[in-house]
Structure 1
Amino acid sequence: MSDAINQAVADSVQKLSEVAPTAVLTNCLLWTGVAFITIIGFNILRPNIIYEPKAKYHTGGKTPPKISDGFFSWLPPLIHTKEPELLDKVGLDAITFLRFLRMMRWLFFGLSLVLVAMTIPVNVTQGLKLKPNKRDALSILTIRDVNGRYLYIHIAAVYVVTFMVFGAVWYHWRAMVRLRTQWFESDEYQKSFYARTLMITDVPKKLHSDQGLTQLLQQLQIPYPATAVHIGRKVGKLPELVDYHNEAVRELETHLVRYLKGGKIGKKRPTITQGGCLGMGGQKRDAIDHYTAKLKKTEAAIEQWRNDIDLRRAENYGFASLAAVPYAHIVARKMAGKTAKGTTVTMAPNPKDIIWENLNMTPAERTSKRMMGFVWLAVVAFLNTIPLLIISFLANLTSLQAYIPALSDWSGKNPRLASLASSILPPTISAIFGYALPIIMRWLSRYQGSTTHTRLDRAVVARYFAFLVISQLIVFSLIGVIFNSVQEVMAQIDKHASFQDILQSLNKLPAVVHKTYISQSNYWLNWLPLRGFLAVFDLAQIINLVWVSFRTHVFGRTPRDIREWTQPPEFEYAIYYSNLLFTATVGLVFAPIAPLVTVGCAVVFWLSSVVYKYQLMFVFITKIESGGRLWNVVMNRLLASLILMQLLMTLTIILRLKFFSWIWISTLPPILFVFAFKFWLTKQFDNRFRWYLPSDSVVKKTTVHSANADNSGQRLEKRFGHPALYADLFTPMLHAKMVHLLPQVYHGNIGQANTAMDEYDGKKMQAQVLPGGIKIAGIEQSDLEYDPALYGRDRGELDWDRMSMHSGHMLGNAVHYARDKAQIPMNRIQGYLQHGPSASTLNHHPEHIELARMDSRQSDAWPLLQPNASQTGGLDSVGSTPYEHPHQYPPGVGYDRSGTPVQRAMTPLGQQPMTPQQYPQGHHGQAPSGSYSGLQPGQIFTPPQQQQAPPPHHRGLSVNTFAQYPPQGHHLSPSMASLHDRGPSATGDYFAGPRATSPGPAAGYMGPGPRATSPGPGTGYMGPSPVSPHQRMGTPQQHFSPRSQRQPSYDQLRQYPGQQPSPGGYRQ
């Protein structure tokens, strides 16, 4: 029986020895030839095809180097452009990816040299001892036939690989920390509004208001008060309506271009079918009329939603801006990993990075979707076993010939074709089925509740990489082991062996397992040339060129298509990282076992470095800049791959020498070294990588923004409001040469007008006005391509701060006082942080800086603290403090975001009341006769007592503005270093110590503490309630409709039961 088994295995090995080397060589030559032809084609087409879109759409310092039209003239810029220059041109995310490729190519180049020198001589020497029919040119290069004390060489190779990986990771980790620090300190990041903003999620329901968010921040005792807060608002179906409208515009443009193709009316008007099933039944309608009517309805619905956003309920998330970037990082770092009162405080992402539909998920909903996501992931993994079985069947095609006579006959007649089938088909099928996997992974990660696109990328890298390793490496190897084990059992059954004989033969199973996963290195030698070709294939962008050409000639291109197709495409970091990480895993796992695989990985990484450097310099752009945040995720997976290599080597020693030899124990220490190295990396680099930790000297130079600047233009609300509230609605566009045919299309009177195009940054263009009011703009040939400046705006490269006005410039020389620390003693600052501004501070300044108008530059130049100011004290009389009304908000009763009317006094004819500063001389602060300030206010509306406490207030509310850290206070107490590294101290750790009680109105506290009484009519103060020192400046929807300035009439006020006219003043 044993002879029969050995004969079957010998036949299989002999056929493998004949086919495997030929198949690998054929596959390598084939893909190398195709890659060479692709490169030649790219060099021919490059001067005539747009292969460098970034050279057109990036201006200023981000413009890539010029390339001449020479055949290989694109290579010198890649060689001579170094990392410092690239950092400003492509961003830190691209630099991180290129640094990862550089680390991989040099690491595997070094590993190839060392492993070839250490292991291949031993492998060849031991392999040549076997008979020629039991070996082949590839098997003698592996560890398959090595035994005894020679295995110590391979164990030593494991230690060498481990420490070489440690050295590469440490070197590049240190460089990445340096690059991250440069990015944090860059002008682009420091001027970004999101860099000094916190995101607060899972806010308790009773605090769903701006004032509730203020109260929450007070309770959390953050060391720096916020300059503005904003609670999210439910937008309902508004995002769907905006997408529905824009999609209708695209459909209308497509049908118009097809109908008017070539500048003449088509023979038949385009139609669509609504209803029916599988193309049967339904009702045909005119496509142009259908989408035109759809636009009218959706535009009206969107306008109504935007006008009524004030009436919508608040969401469970909000944002708070701080005065400086270091302040936000300190607070976020202190709150990292903590949930206070059920809320989570983190650094706010770039607004364009937020996945808004996931932001309002409750913890229970997110947990439920996460569990269901893993269930769906398990289903995908199960379905993926089908292509794995096909791949395994093709990879073991030679072994199956002994049991399938037809296959054996076909292989004998067509040996070259059989060799190609066994070498090319398995990796090709793997690549085809693997194309949809990252798309599925991204959808599942988004379904599970990822709140940002960058976090989604990290989740995709983690899950897609794990899926590749488990399915294509581990499960594929197990399938091969099972396949070969079943093969031996079937051989015994064919010989009519007894069940006892079959069980006794299982003692040879370890040798079968050992030879199976080692022989599978041939599959990866076939797979690696395909990976190298795919990198070169990305360089030529053949699929994209063919698809664009097909759509252009068959369907025509709308102006919008031309604008979008000529933009630089977005680089899918998550997919490329995952695929390259899996390549590195294959190279590491087989490094001491089959070093030829490591050599192939080195070639792939060198090719990828050249190709993707060109792609990132001239073709692709980063969708959302995260500052290289994926680096940590990638390095963790690389170390996990190192552990896989060590475990496989341990298994190899055990299978070769059994447990009777203690040599396998010597393979365990490297595994412990990896865990210790990871722990050391975390302690050494993690905080400096994640957070901005500036020195005291850098903090003193940091620009501090004022609350007035953040609240005056509602910057926080506009920057972090839901994009559906501000998104530009598409205007239908048509080629200018087709516009004159529109009267024949719509059969009616069509007017003409100049319309401001949101797609062209408000540029006015000639448009045709349809009878229903829909405008169709005619786009000239010269305006078809995207404007570079507009492209930068839409991508978020022009930050909101720089699009308007930098607060440091707007405040004049206010920063001068912040840097003059000698004028303000430290005990004054500490007293200010604890008790707020003193009465003397307010009364000794005629400008009253915290209550002054924003258009007064001089007032912002005064410091909040004087050297002779007392440490404590409160606001003596809020009502006696002069307050000027911003002219853009009329007096009366408006509505806040929850739909509750805001209580304001109304003067006759809606005129603005005079402030005490405007009274004529000689009145001594009393309102002159005949002025509206001397009149009794009209009906004061007090809403029914149904609102929750604290009551909602206007958006953009300043957080504890009177207790705000002064704009000049760069010199911190406790110092920045102590806040970063020291625990609770005598000076006070604002996150650890007893919770401070809310000061009363006497202390000048204007937040959600004890409610202050409102001044009566005798004071002449007709402004808003002193709960907030800022006037409500309106809403971002004012440009949609004047409804944001609506005021109820006296009859409307009387409709509320139980409300009587107030004797004067304000009622809370």
Structure 2
Amino acid sequence: MNDTSPSNSTLSPTVMDISFGNFQAALLFNGLLAIGLLLGFLIARARFPATYASRVFAVPQALQPHSLGFGVFSAISKVLVSDKELLDKCGVDAFAAIFHVRTMAVLFASIGLPAALVLIPINVTGGNGLQGINLLTLGNVADEKKLWAHFLFALYAITLTLYAIFRIINESVRLRVSYRTDSLFSNKVMMVRDVPPEWRNEAEIAEIFNRACENCVEEVIIPRVIPFTQGLVSKEHLAARNKLEASVSVFFSKISRLSHQGTAADSESDSAVDKPNEIITDEAVLKLRPKHRSPVITGKKVDSITEYAKAMRDAQRELSLLHSVSDSERMSTVFVVFREPFQAHLMSRSIVYNTPWVMGQKFPSVAADDVIWANANTTYFHREWRFLSTKLITFGMIIFWGAIVAATLTFTDLANLGKSIPAFQTFLNNNPQFSKLIGGVLPPVVVAVLISLVPPILRLLSVFGGSPLRTYTEQEVFSQFFSFQLINVFAVNVIGSSILASFNAIKDNPSSILDILAKSIPQSANFFIQYLLVQGLLAPSLEIVQAARLITGPIILYLFGKSPRSVLKSRQPPSFSYAESVATHGLTVTIGLVFCILSPMVLVFVVLYFSLYTMVYTYQMQYVYLAVKSTGGGKFLYTAANHMYVGLFIMEFMILAIFLLSKNLTISGLMVLIVAVTIWSFSQAQQFQSIIDTIPVSSVAGKTTQYSGGILLSDKMTRWVKYLVPSRPEEEDASLVQSGAEVLTAANTPVSGSAPDIVLAAAAESSVHVDIEHIGADKTPEKHAAKKVSASAMYTDPSMGNLDLKVWIPQCGVGNVYREIVNEIVAGTDTISESQIVSVGAGVDDKGNVGISNGKYAEMSAL
């Protein structure tokens, strides 16, 4: 590492300065843009609650966060609440996401501050003749004695990282065990695939599992295969209902606007109280009824309400006939309801038959809305072939995307373009500011855009490959997307920026290959500094600003908000998808770990990245995001901890390679020992996988211990055990709220083996376990509407169709219009009952705008 790279002499001064100039331009551009976005958010937050407080609309009073008002600084203290409050009000996965980014912010701040004080001064004075940002890298260190400082700092960083990994694993275990042992009904349900035809009856399945665990089965649900024609009729039924609602809503809007009479959306009555109509004549009312052409364009105009009401009645009549047919084939997937969640997990570990394609796949804690019904009746080998084909497609995508990313980086490398195109080099020399801005911003933006296209494709491939559950799909996409980014963002850039970039220098001077690589590998951090500038400053700023929702929300509401259902859909809070988000955070962790020694400058932007995301998630999870109905109960936190080992191993091997290239065998030998310790710690981390996947017996038996396995040197140090092993139950003062809206109350628990009734609470947030009675902030019970449905009705393919499909129309108090419309829809037949016509929380104001109530989200979303 004593010579200046031969490649440096071939570069013009302009091209050599572009690296540092790119950094300055990118920092200025991204910094100013991020500041502008955050200021815009602070200004717009209180003025656009539909965008920036959409979750408040969707949750009951007991789960709502603190009201922020219009103040900026006063709002900060209200957003920064305790972990207990975050967990209680936001749910497990939301809290896990905040915990993850917060832990990473603390970790990299603890590594970055000493690095700035120790390593950067050593690198700057290294004496290897590098320029620009490369001056700050390990490649600029020529004195081998100074490498001892880097080795000791690597030991410090690795120790902190291992500690952070096990802290995350312990928190994941705590959340996961509490989630799995909760009294949520879905925790007692086990999904079993590939049941043989001769075993597809309730008695056979109950006998199999009762044999393994005496009297453990409460109910067996075997859904039936829905014929294709029935699925089509169900879709026609749903489409006719939606069109009927829109037509009636448009009709009521015209009447209210013309008569200047509105009806409050939060009226307590489900049907409007008719008022005398002295403004609009009956003839005028008829002219206001909406019409459309049937068929479209070429057909004659028909009355929309009459036509769609008839279409819905016809579809419901046909669907009723199809429901009466009970000889359809039973699915190969069954759902077994056990008496206790622990029994479901115990039986999921059992082996039913001596071949893997007979009831080999069993999944405990399955919520009804988590099932992917399209894959519920696929055979074992059919799924295997589809799975293989998806892996081949994924491999092709890696090659395809890798080629595109590599080509993009080559094309946007202004130095290479300047060498290849003399005229372009002249342009760079004449316009240095332009070249710095483009070179600093364009490459990471292009890479980020290309990579963002990957998760939806991976999600489709996972479903096509036979994924049984949405949570299973998200876990698969999470791991695959992390691997995808690791190859196409990290590996491509490291290889392209070091080995390939040094190819000509190595060819001209083969004997100096070790010195050249030792200097060029740390220089690969330059791209990642630019990449983290974009991701660290713009990504969290854009996430909290939500520019797309802010702009498109009012437009969508204006164009399509014709019925209460469409208005509710436009106000639906966004869901947090951890597959994309946490996988991207994992890539940032890998970059930070790998380059914390090679190029400590990276740590500044890694700390900034996770600090901003901690603030953004703390706000978004409380006020914006509505977590998905089916969650993993914090399982992704454990996966994220395992992904950290990838960055740790890459860091250790790259540092080992640098020390070997520098011919420092003593430090290299010590690094080998560190790698061995890391491998051992990884094997210990894998021991927690079985705890994550099931329920420990001690949590059911109520047993606890302070035993640390001998990791503590003295029993007097047991107070430190909470930092090393999973939290004990008595330490959990927070009542963990869980996903799903269903709970099994004591009053509904069956004594015999009969099918249990499930109470579907009108929970405002589907990711939070809400009971029938909540204690609000004022300590008064808060009642929510609830209805009982059978477990077999819940675990049924939705394409079967719903004969109790609700027609949700707004209230209208002009004359007797509302009553006439209800009578017209029912039409004196028994096909559609009057109880199916509802107007819960919906009304029309005197300007003809359809509105919905702020306090009945759960009831409305269940319609």
TM-score in terms of structure 2 length: 0.77
CA shift for structure 1 position 98: 1.0
- Post-superposition CA distance 1:215-258 (Å, at most 9, x none): 43356x23443122122211133455434543565567678989
Helix, strand or coil at the partner of 1:203: coil
Q: CA deviation at 1:511?
A: 4.6
Query: Hey, what does 2:724 align to over in structure 1?
Result: none
CA contact (8 A) 1:227 1:707 kept: no
Partner of 1:27: 26
The answer to whether the 8 Å contact 1:514/1:655 transfers is yes
Q: 1:366 corresponds to which residue?
A: 383
Residue by residue over 1:11-56, the C-alpha shift from the partner in whole angstroms, topping out at 9 and shown as x without a partner, is 4274344122222122112212112111222122222212112223
Q: Distance in 2 between matches of 1:6 and 1:711?
A: 77
> In the TM superposition, what is the alpha-carbon distance from 1:405 to its structure 2 partner?
1.0
- The answer for the alignment partner of 2:105 in structure 1 is 105
Distance 1:467 1:318, change over 3 A: same
Q: Report matched runs for 1:445-464 at 5 Å.
A: 445-464=462-481
CA pair 347-287 structure 1, distance change in 2 beyond 3 A: farther
Aligned to 1:769: none
Distance change (3 Å), C-alpha of 1:760 and 1:36: farther
Q: Distance in 1 between matches of 2:393 and 2:76?
A: 45
Amino acid at match of 1:155: F
2:668 alignment counterpart? 664
Is 1:721 the counterpart of 2:796? The answer is yes
User: Which deviates more, 724-733 or 566-575?
Assistant: 724-733
CA contact (8 A) 1:12 1:399 kept: no
Write the mapping of 1:1003-1022 to structure 2, written as runs, cut at 5 A.
none
Match for residue 655 of structure 2? 649
- Give the counterpart letter for 1:56 in structure 2: F
Unaligned runs of 5+ in 1: 275-281, 490-501, 767-776, 797-1068
Q: What is the alpha-carbon distance in structure 2 between the residues aligned to residue 210 and residue 670 of structure 1?
A: 56
CA distance in 1 between counterparts of 2:313 and 2:641 reads 52
Distance in 2, matches of 1:674 and 1:266, equals 75
Larger radius of gyration: 1
SS at match of 1:711: coil
Moved more, 750-759 or 431-440: 750-759
In the alignment, the residues of structure 1 paired with residue 42 and residue 22 of structure 2 have an alpha-carbon distance, to the nearest angstrom, of 30
The answer to whether the 8 A contact 2:55-2:573 is kept is yes
Picking from 138, 145, 156, the partner of 2:140 is 145
Q: Report the equivalent of 1:325.
A: 341
Q: Which residue of 2 aligns with 1:476?
A: 493
1:159 aligns with 2:159: no
Deviation string 1:45-98 (CA, Å, 9 cap, x unpaired) is 22221211222321143121221221343311222x111122110111111111
Q: CA deviation at 1:194?
A: 1.8
Kindly state the Cα deviation for residue 605 of structure 1 after the two structures are TM-superposed.
0.3
Residue pair 1:535, 1:607 contacting (<8 A) in 2 also: yes
SS of aligned partner of 2:220: strand
Q: Is the 8 A contact 2:313 2:831 kept in 1?
A: no
Q: What residue number does 2:74 align with?
A: 73
SS of 1:48 mapped into structure 2: coil
Alignment of 1:949-1028 (within 5 A): none
Structure with greater contact order relative to length (CA < 8 Å, sep ≥ 6): 2
Q: Distance in 2 between matches of 1:337 and 1:585?
A: 42
- For the 8 Å contact 1:9–1:488, the answer to whether it is kept is no
Maintained 8 Å contact 1:202/1:342: yes
Contact between 1:401 and 1:407, CA under 8 Å: does it hold in 2? yes
Q: Distance in 1 between matches of 2:12 and 2:830?
A: 75
Aligned residue type for 2:340: A
Cα distance in 2 for partners of 1:514, 1:193 equals 58
CA separation in 2, counterparts of 1:756 and 1:166? 67
Q: Does 1:217 align with 2:209?
A: yes
Partner of 1:124: 124
**8 Å Cα contact 1:239/1:724 also seen in 2:** yes
- Alpha-carbon spacing, 1:207–1:549, altered in 2? closer, same or farther (3 Å): same
- Counterpart of 1:924 in structure 2 is none
Is the partner of 2:138 in helix, strand or coil?
A: coil
1:572 and 2:577 are equivalent in the alignment: yes
Matched, 1:135 2:135: no
The CA distance in 1 between the partners of 2:592 and 2:423, in whole Å, is 36
Q: CA–CA distance in 1 between the matches of 2:425 and 2:248?
A: 59
For the aligned residue pairs, the C-alpha RMSD in angstroms reads 4.2
Say which of 499, 502, 522 aligns to 1:518: 522
Q: Which residue of 2 aligns with 1:691?
A: 695
Q: Within 2, Cα distance between the matches of 1:124 and 1:760?
A: 80
Aligned counterpart in structure 1 of residue 455 of structure 2, from 416, 438, 444 = 438
C-alpha distance after superposition, 1:438-491 (max 9, x if no partner): 1111111121121111111110110000000001111233334465256559xx
Aligned partner (choices 673, 676, 679) of residue 675 of structure 1: 679
1:297, CA displacement in angstroms?
5.7
Shift of 1:116: 2.6
Residue 165 of structure 1, CA deviation: 0.8
Separation in 2 of the partners of 1:77 and 1:338? 58
Q: Contact 2:544–2:620 (CA<8 Å) still a contact in 1? A: yes
Residue number among 296, 308, 313 corresponding to 2:329 in the alignment: 313
**Equivalent residue number for residue 915 of structure 1:** none
1:586 paired residue among 585, 588, 591 = 591
2: CA distance, partners of 1:761 / 1:652:
75
The answer as to whether partners of 1:756 and 1:764 remain within 8 angstroms in 2 is no
* 1:550 aligned to which of 537, 555, 571: 555
CA distance in 2, matches of 1:314, 1:216: 18
- Determine the structure 2 residue equivalent to 1:492: none
1:396 Cα deviation from its structure 2 partner: 2.1
Match of 1:420 in 2: 437
> What CA deviation, in whole Å up to 9, does each residue of 1:161-211 have, x standing for no partner?
2211111122333233333344445xxx31x22222222221122212222
- The 1:688/1:625 distance shift into structure 2, 3 A limit, reads closer
Q: Is the 1:174–1:685 contact (alpha carbons within 8 Å) kept by the matching residues of 2? A: no
My pick for the range that moved more, 243-252 or 254-263, is: 254-263
Structure 2: distance between partners of 1:123 and 1:617 = 43
* Number of aligned residue pairs: 745
C-alpha contact 1:481 1:512 (8 A) present in aligned 2: no
Aligned position for 1:979: none
Residue number among 528, 533, 539 corresponding to 1:529 in the alignment: 533
Aligned counterparts of 1:326 and 1:252: Cα–Cα separation in 2: 47
Post-superposition CA distance 1:511-540 (Å, at most 9, x none): 554444432312211111211221111111
**Are residue 85 (structure 1) and residue 85 (structure 2) matched?**
yes
The 5-angstrom pairing of residues 138-287 of structure 1 reads: 138-147=133-142, 148-184=144-180, 189-190=182-183, 192-218=184-210, 221-237=212-228, 238-239=230-231, 241-243=233-235, 245-247=237-239, 249-250=241-242
Distance 1:594 1:720 in 2: 54
1:751 to partner: Cα distance: 6.8
From 838, 842, 853, the equivalent of 1:764 is 838
| Structure 1 CA distance for aligned equivalents of residues 31 and 694 of structure 2 | 42
Quick check: 2:209–2:347 contact (8 Å CA) kept in 1? no
C-alpha distance in structure 1 between counterparts of 2:817 and 2:399, whole Å = 55
SS of equivalent to 2:79 = helix
How many Å apart are 1:571 and its aligned residue?
A: 0.9
Query: Separation in 1 of the partners of 2:67 and 2:290?
Result: 48
For residue 349 of structure 1, give the secondary structure of its aligned residue in structure 2. Answer: coil
CA drift of 1:7 comes to: 6.9
C-alpha spacing 1:726/1:14, structure 2 compared with 1 (3 Å) = same
2:396 maps to 379
- Is contact 2:635–2:692 with CA below 8 Å preserved after alignment? no
Residues of 1 paired with 2:299 and 2:553: CA distance? 29
Residue 725 of structure 2 corresponds to which residue in structure 1? Answer: none
- Provide the secondary structure at the position in 1 that maps to 2:358: coil
Q: What SS does the aligned partner of 2:69 have?
A: coil
Letter matched to residue 470 of structure 2: H
* Alpha-carbon distance, 1:609 to partner: 0.2
1:671 deviates by 2.7
Instruction: Please give the residue correspondences for 1:765-780 in structure 2 after superposition, counting only pairs within 5 Å.
Output: 765=839
CA distance in 2: counterparts of 1:195 and 1:556, whole angstroms: 37
- More displaced 10-residue stretch of structure 1: 566-575 or 65-74: 65-74
Q: Aligned letter for 1:525? A: I
